[in-house]
């Protein structure tokens, strides 16, 4: 390095230091100084662009970014800096181009080849990745690049929307490449895994078997669970069920392997001759199977004998054997199942998992069910040790599981709730001295009692039972501070009761972090806008949305890096898994449900102006064509409800609806159409102004259907995920859109005018007009002069009457026991009004109205708005009035009285009073906040 270069290097170092410590401003200042001296220096420009991106000065950064890209950099430092710039701008495709150019200029530079490959990986461009890797393999002769080609080909095949035929071709290509490798795949277990998975995709089972049945294949499978998983599949597909069974027997007997998969292999082998369900088995096959059943039973009995109480697998495998024997009509003893169940209870009912273990063997009916119930009853339900307590809990759960609908009556459930509560309180003694970080052994009894109360609520619709459940669970949380089950149940119940602040408190106590936000945030964020006082500036739930959203940003920033790491370390088994993981988060249903909730709150909170309309429109359009994945965890909530009844999760859904794809689609369509009408950005403008990559086109959307048509499509199936009031909102927005569409289209400024304005703004900010923008000559004031002004049409009845009708509905509901329904209606009316605001934004502008001769329309809209505001004001008053009746001494007393069962059981009256106070106060606050919010919106838009 020359002396000058060393000096420059020393001068640039402070820029890196500033960037590392987040002092972007100082980085920019230093870069500016250096650029005076070295005005054409690409690295300094790239670093300045990076500092600008990080300071959110996007337009200024773009100018520099373009300049550097034009220089086609090849130096590692510049490329790295630019990589960060382009990532910050969401321009992965440009990153690919940049590295492509660099590699083209220095085709012997292996590192640039690798970077070019990785840029494609980051952008999920598997086809180009495959081409780059092929080139690199030819040039550098490293087997690693051959395998990169192979996995890129596989990923291309597995991409959403790859046609079946092409998929097969790609797998064949991948296969050809693997076998062309000079070193066999088995030298590395990960390459071996990739090879096997391709063979499986191509149904080349014999080839796969041959590889696996070799000494080296067996060796790999002995220490590699992933390869062994594929091996099991191959053996099954090849019909080697007996061999697999024999080998499993060996593992179970000689190596004490207790992996349930081995037991399943033995069982599969036992019944292998009866596997063909299409035909009746021959007598011979039946005889063979009978003999095998006897052998298998002997094997499992040996396991039972050997393991004793140490391991429950043996006894469970006997149960599974009997279950399967019965399914084939080969059980030799009709009492066998019951006997085994009884034996299991005797041996393992003190294990907390006993209830779960037995569930699939206790789907009994008729006499057998009766026998089972008698056995359960025959056990003692008293306890003097912790193990006995655990046994009682299991017995009660198992009893409950098999309750018939006729046994779930008001009286019987009341008695059960009392029994569970009583046992719970007795059981607390075993945890009296535990540290606060531990769970009480009796916890599940409290959950059982809460479950019973929810049943009673479902039977009677009496909210008093929910109060009791809440009081009891709150008590359980005092005793067992870390019980996440109790917390989750409480989140659900408080939402049903219209006490969102309490739900949030418990949700926060779960300390949900990182990826858990994806699977759990729906507990608190589902339909959260109806509980939000965003309109009066309370952004609690809106911030909760932003916090939950972090994981998606982390995913887009980090997961790609780990995919690249997996490539570098050649962990081929992980790459498709990581890609799936990234995709499931990137295109998460919950992510976009949160987005919709956040938008609903934002519109209530902020003054609606065209900037918001434009920004939200662009974001929603990006989301619209995603193929969404639902990763929400619905299994985490315990359910001890009888199998004849819906589970706890289903029972406690707000409005009995689990919103999913249909809900999201409907609201996306609603808002995109509404925002699009309110916005000046048409597709051509958007195309020119938008920075960053566009979402990939979905191959399954018919090309002849315009976005507008798709937005107007109505799916009855999707609407099932909406409440009746939400459906009314959809109808309102649809009618409004249909009515105003032609006026919007007429009055919207010409794209050239919008672009010219954008360019002007950019120039003001950065000193440069927008690059690459050829603004067509504008034809005067923007609107299409040749067209006639659309004739004024009266608004549809649905729109005119909507607000009156919804207010009437609100009045009918406002005094109901739970305020949730009324609150929901209020939220929907508010939302309808905000939609009206968005749709009528353009026609508030007097110049636009005059220029386009839309006076009649503006007057008509005004009268609808005036009427809407009058109705909203009444609703606001209604909510505030209702809030005043919550959390009074009287209402608290009523709450406590409803909890008499809990208090009679021994839970302190004052404790329950405290629960009542907090719960009712939360209710009061939400009603008051929402009521005031509506009032504020009314004031805001009366004058505005």
Partner 1 sequence: MSVLRPFKATDMFKFNNINLDIWTETYGIGFYLSYLSRWPDLCCVQESPNGQMMGYVLGKAEGAGIEWHGHVTAITVAPEYRRLGLARKMMNLLELVSDELYKGFFVDLYVRCANKVAVEMYEGMGYSVYRRVREYYGSLGNGRGGRDDEDAFDMRKPLSRDPNRISVRPNGRDVIVSAQDVS
Return the ∠ at Cα 103 (arms to 99 and 105), rounded to 5°. 120
Which residues in the 844-873 window bind partner 1 by CB under 8 A? Answer: none
Per-residue binding letters, 240-259, with partner 1 (x by CB under 8 A): ------------------xx
Nearer of residues 55 and 554 to partner 1, judged by Cβ: 554
Q: Is 908 left (phi over 0), alpha (psi -120 to 50) or beta?
A: beta
Nearer of residues 240 and 551 to partner 1, judged by Cβ: 551
Which residues in the 438-467 window bind partner 1 by CB under 8 A? Answer: 439
Stretch that binds partner 1, among 70-78, 579-587, 602-610, 649-657 (CB under 8 A): 579-587
Nearer of residues 52 and 316 to partner 1, judged by Cβ: 316
Nearer of residues 9 and 577 to partner 1, judged by Cβ: 577
Alpha helices in 631-750 (DSSP H): 648-651, 661-678, 683-689, 707-712, 716-719, 724-747
| Nearest-angstrom CA–CA distance, 101 and 119 | 12
In angstroms, what is the minimal distance from the CB of 562 to partner 1? 4
Stretch that binds partner 1, among 52-60, 353-361, 795-803, 820-828 (CB under 8 A): 353-361
- Does 437 bind partner 1 (CB under 8 A)? Our answer is yes
Candidates 311, 547, 682, 741: give the one binding partner 1 (CB under 8 A): 311
Stretch that binds partner 1, among 453-461, 567-575, 845-853, 920-928 (CB under 8 A): 567-575
| Nearest-angstrom CA–CA distance, 72 and 67 | 9
Return the ∠ at Cα 761 (arms to 758 and 767), rounded to 5°. 120
Query: What does DSSP assign to residue 629?
Result: B
Residue 506, token pair as written in the block: 């418990």
- Does 353 bind partner 1 (CB under 8 A)? Our answer is yes
In angstroms, what is the minimal distance from the CB of 190 to partner 1? 8
Candidates 182, 405, 435, 772: give the one binding partner 1 (CB under 8 A): 435
Nearer of residues 60 and 244 to partner 1, judged by Cβ: 244
| Nearest-angstrom CA–CA distance, 135 and 140 | 9
Candidates 260, 332, 697, 724: give the one binding partner 1 (CB under 8 A): 260
Stretch that binds partner 1, among 410-418, 506-514, 596-604, 765-773 (CB under 8 A): 506-514
| Nearest-angstrom CA–CA distance, 744 and 25 | 43
| DSSP helix/strand/coil, 277 | coil
In angstroms, what is the minimal distance from the CB of 909 to partner 1? 31
In angstroms, what is the minimal distance from the CB of 355 to partner 1? 9
Candidates 5, 222, 791, 889: give the one binding partner 1 (CB under 8 A): 222
Residue 641, token pair as written in the block: 């409800």
Nearer of residues 258 and 917 to partner 1, judged by Cβ: 258
Nearer of residues 10 and 310 to partner 1, judged by Cβ: 310
Residue 214: φ, ψ to 5°: -90, 165
User: Whose structure tokens read 């109806």?
Assistant: 530
Candidates 17, 142, 280, 633: give the one binding partner 1 (CB under 8 A): 633
Q: Is 907 left (phi over 0), alpha (psi -120 to 50) or beta?
A: beta
- Does 2 bind partner 1 (CB under 8 A)? Our answer is no
Per-residue binding letters, 514-533, with partner 1 (x by CB under 8 A): xxx-xxx-------------
In angstroms, what is the minimal distance from the CB of 558 to partner 1? 5
- Does 189 bind partner 1 (CB under 8 A)? Our answer is yes
Residue 461 neighbours by CB under 8 Å, 6+ apart: none
Burial of residue 66, with CB atoms counted within 10 A of its CB: 0-12 exposed, 13-18 middle, 19 or more buried: middle
Candidates 103, 430, 484, 640: give the one binding partner 1 (CB under 8 A): 484
In angstroms, what is the minimal distance from the CB of 234 to partner 1? 16
- Does 223 bind partner 1 (CB under 8 A)? Our answer is yes
Residue 114 neighbours by CB under 8 Å, 6+ apart: 136
Candidates 562, 622, 746, 911: give the one binding partner 1 (CB under 8 A): 562
Nearer of residues 221 and 330 to partner 1, judged by Cβ: 221
Return the ∠ at Cα 203 (arms to 197 and 204), rounded to 5°. 85
| Nearest-angstrom CA–CA distance, 468 and 899 | 5
| Nearest-angstrom CA–CA distance, 127 and 915 | 60
| DSSP helix/strand/coil, 214 | coil
User: Whose structure tokens read 């109901």?
Assistant: 816
Total Cβ atoms within 10 A of residue 162: 17
Total Cβ atoms within 10 A of residue 243: 14
- Does 385 bind partner 1 (CB under 8 A)? Our answer is no
Residue 384, token pair as written in the block: 């003097």
With beta carbons less than 8 A apart as the criterion, state whether 32 and 38 touch.
no
What are the beta bridge partners of residue 588?
A: 629
What's the sign of the alpha-carbon dihedral 834, 626, 773, 782?
A: negative
Candidates 139, 141, 356, 781: give the one binding partner 1 (CB under 8 A): 356
- Does 218 bind partner 1 (CB under 8 A)? Our answer is no
Nearer of residues 115 and 480 to partner 1, judged by Cβ: 480
- Does 306 bind partner 1 (CB under 8 A)? Our answer is no
| Nearest-angstrom CA–CA distance, 783 and 790 | 13
Candidates 434, 546, 569, 627: give the one binding partner 1 (CB under 8 A): 569
Which residues in the 51-80 window bind partner 1 by CB under 8 A? Answer: none
| DSSP helix/strand/coil, 353 | coil
What are the beta bridge partners of residue 629?
A: 588
How big is the site for partner 1, counted in residues (CB under 8 A)? 58
With beta carbons less than 8 A apart as the criterion, state whether 737 and 669 touch.
no
- Does 351 bind partner 1 (CB under 8 A)? Our answer is yes
| Nearest-angstrom CA–CA distance, 335 and 341 | 10
With beta carbons less than 8 A apart as the criterion, state whether 527 and 597 touch.
yes
Candidates 6, 166, 261, 415: give the one binding partner 1 (CB under 8 A): 261
In angstroms, what is the minimal distance from the CB of 584 to partner 1? 7
Candidates 225, 404, 705, 816: give the one binding partner 1 (CB under 8 A): 225
- Does 310 bind partner 1 (CB under 8 A)? Our answer is yes
Stretch that binds partner 1, among 99-107, 140-148, 348-356, 677-685 (CB under 8 A): 348-356
Distances 564 to 99, 115, 122, 550 between C-alpha atoms, Å = 15, 10, 8, 22
Let me know how long the chain is.
Answer: 944
Stretch that binds partner 1, among 562-570, 738-746, 854-862, 863-871 (CB under 8 A): 562-570
- Does 282 bind partner 1 (CB under 8 A)? Our answer is no
Candidates 581, 655, 658, 792: give the one binding partner 1 (CB under 8 A): 581
Residue 710, token pair as written in the block: 């798709």
In angstroms, what is the minimal distance from the CB of 631 to partner 1? 5
- Does 709 bind partner 1 (CB under 8 A)? Our answer is no
Which residues in the 532-551 window bind partner 1 by CB under 8 A? Answer: 551
Nearer of residues 128 and 188 to partner 1, judged by Cβ: 188
CA dihedral 915, 920, 922, 927 (to 10 degrees): 170
- Does 352 bind partner 1 (CB under 8 A)? Our answer is yes
- Does 510 bind partner 1 (CB under 8 A)? Our answer is yes
What's the sign of the alpha-carbon dihedral 746, 752, 758, 763?
A: negative
With beta carbons less than 8 A apart as the criterion, state whether 575 and 154 touch.
no
Binding site for partner 1 (CB under 8 A): 189, 222-226, 229, 258-261, 310-313, 316-317, 351-353, 356-357, 360, 435, 437, 439, 482, 484, 510, 513-516, 518-520, 551, 554-555, 558-559, 561-562, 565-566, 569, 571, 573-574, 577-578, 580-581, 584, 631, 633, 635-636
């Amino acid at each position: 390095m020359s002396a000058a270069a060393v000096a420059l290097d020393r001068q640039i170092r402070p820029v890196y230091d500033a960037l590392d410590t987040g002092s972007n401003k100082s980085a920019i200042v230093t870069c500016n100084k250096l650029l005076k001296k070295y005005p054409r220096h690409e690295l300094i420009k790239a670093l300045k662009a990076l500092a600008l991106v990080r300071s959110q000065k996007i337009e200024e950064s773009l100018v520099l970014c373009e300049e550097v890209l034009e220089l086609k950099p090849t130096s590692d430092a510049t490329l790295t800096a630019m990589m960060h710039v382009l990532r910050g701008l969401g321009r992965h495709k440009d990153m690919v181009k940049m590295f492509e150019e660099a590699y083209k200029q220095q085709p012997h530079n292996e590192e640039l080849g690798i970077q070019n490959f990785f840029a494609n990986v980051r952008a999920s461009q598997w086809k180009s990745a495959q081409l780059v890797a092929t080139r690199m393999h030819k040039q550098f002769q490293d087997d690693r690049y051959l395998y990169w080609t192979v996995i890129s080909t596989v990923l291309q095949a597995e991409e959403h929307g790859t046609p079946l035929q092409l998929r097969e071709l790609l797998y064949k290509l991948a296969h050809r490449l693997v076998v062309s490798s000079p070193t066999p795949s088995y030298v590395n277990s990960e390459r071996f895994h990739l090879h096997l998975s391709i063979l499986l995709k191509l149904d080349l089972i014999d080839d796969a078997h041959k590889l696996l049945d070799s000494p080296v294949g067996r060796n790999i499978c002995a220490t590699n669970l992933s390869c062994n998983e594929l091996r099991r599949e191959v053996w099954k597909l090849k019909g080697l069920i007996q061999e697999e069974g024999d080998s499993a027997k060996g593992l179970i007997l000689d190596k004490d392997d207790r992996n349930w998969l081995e037991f399943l292999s033995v069982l599969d082998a036992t019944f292998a001759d009866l596997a063909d369900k299409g035909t009746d088995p021959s007598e011979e096959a039946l005889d063979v199977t009978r003999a095998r059943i006897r052998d298998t039973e002997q094997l499992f009995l040996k396991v039972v004998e050997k393991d004793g109480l140490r391991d429950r697998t043996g006894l469970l495998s006997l149960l599974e054997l009997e279950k399967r024997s019965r399914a084939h009509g080969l059980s030799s003893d009709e009492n066998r199942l019951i006997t085994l169940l009884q034996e299991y209870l005797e041996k393992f009912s003190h294990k907390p998992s006993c209830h779960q273990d037995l569930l699939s063997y206790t789907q009994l009916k008729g006499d057998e069910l009766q026998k089972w119930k008698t056995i359960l009853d025959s056990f003692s339900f008293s306890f003097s040790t912790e193990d006995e307590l655990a046994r009682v809990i299991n017995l009660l759960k198992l009893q409950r599981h098999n309750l018939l609908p006729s046994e779930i009556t008001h009286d019987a459930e009341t008695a059960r709730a009392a029994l569970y509560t009583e046992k719970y309180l007795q059981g607390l003694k075993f945890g009296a001295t535990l540290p606060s970080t531990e769970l009480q052994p009796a916890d599940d009894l409290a959950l059982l009692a809460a479950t019973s109360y929810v049943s009673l609520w479902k039977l009677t619709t009496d909210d008093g039972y929910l109060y009791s459940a809440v009081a009891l669970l709150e008590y359980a949380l005092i005793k067992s501070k870390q019980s996440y089950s109790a917390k989750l149940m409480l989140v659900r119940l408080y939402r049903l009761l219209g006490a969102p602040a309490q739900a949030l408190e418990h949700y926060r106590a779960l300390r949900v972090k990182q990826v858990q936000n994806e699977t759990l945030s729906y507990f608190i964020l589902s339909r959260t806008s109806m509980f939000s006082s965003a309109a009066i500036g309370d952004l609690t739930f809106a911030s909760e949305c932003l916090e939950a959203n972090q994981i998606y940003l982390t995913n887009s920033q980090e997961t790609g890096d780990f995919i690249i790491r997996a490539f570098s370390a050649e962990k081929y088994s992980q790459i498709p898994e990581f890609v799936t993981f990234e995709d499931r988060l990137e295109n998460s249903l919950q992510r976009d449900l949160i987005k919709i909730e956040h938008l609903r709150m934002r519109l209530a909170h902020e003054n609606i102006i065209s900037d918001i309309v434009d920004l939200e429109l662009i974001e929603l359009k990006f989301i619209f064509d995603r193929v969404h994945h639902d990763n929400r965890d619905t299994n985490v909530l315990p359910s001890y409800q009888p199998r004849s009844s819906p589970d706890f999760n289903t029972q406690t859904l707000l409005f009995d609806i689990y919103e999913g794809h249909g809900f999201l689609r409907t609201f996306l369509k609603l808002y995109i159409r509404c925002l699009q009408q309110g916005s000046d950005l048409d597709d051509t403008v958007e195309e020119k102004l938008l920075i960053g990559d566009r979402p990939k086109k979905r191959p399954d959307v018919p090309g002849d259907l315009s976005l507008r048509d798709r937005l107007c499509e109505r799916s009855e199936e999707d609407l099932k995920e909406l409440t009746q009031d939400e459906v009314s909102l959809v109808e309102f927005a649809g009618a409004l859109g249909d009515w105003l569409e032609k006026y919007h289209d007429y009055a919207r400024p010409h794209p050239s005018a919008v672009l010219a304005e954008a360019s002007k703004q950019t120039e003001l900010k950065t000193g440069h007009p927008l690059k690459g923008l050829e603004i067509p000559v504008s034809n005067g004031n923007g609107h299409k002069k040749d067209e006639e002004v659309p004739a004024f049409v009266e608004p549809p009845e649905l729109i005119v009457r909507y607000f009156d009708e919804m207010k009437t509905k609100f009045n009918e509901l406002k005094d109901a026991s739970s305020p949730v329904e009324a609150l929901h209606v209020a939220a929907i009316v508010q939302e309808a009004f905000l939609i009206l605001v968005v749709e009528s934004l353009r026609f508030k502008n007097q110049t636009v109205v005059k220029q386009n001769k839309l006076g009649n329309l503006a007057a008509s809209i005004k009268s609808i708005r005036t009427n809407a505001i009058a109705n909203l004001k009444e609703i606001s008053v209604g909510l505030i009035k209702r809030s005043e009746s919550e959390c009074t001494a009287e209402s608290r007393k009523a709450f406590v009285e409803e909890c008499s069962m809990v208090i009679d059981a021994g839970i302190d009256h004052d404790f329950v009073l405290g629960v009542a106070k907090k719960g009712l106060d939360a209710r009061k606050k939400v009603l008051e906040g929402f009521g005031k919010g509506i009032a504020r919106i009314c004031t805001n838009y009366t004058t505005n």
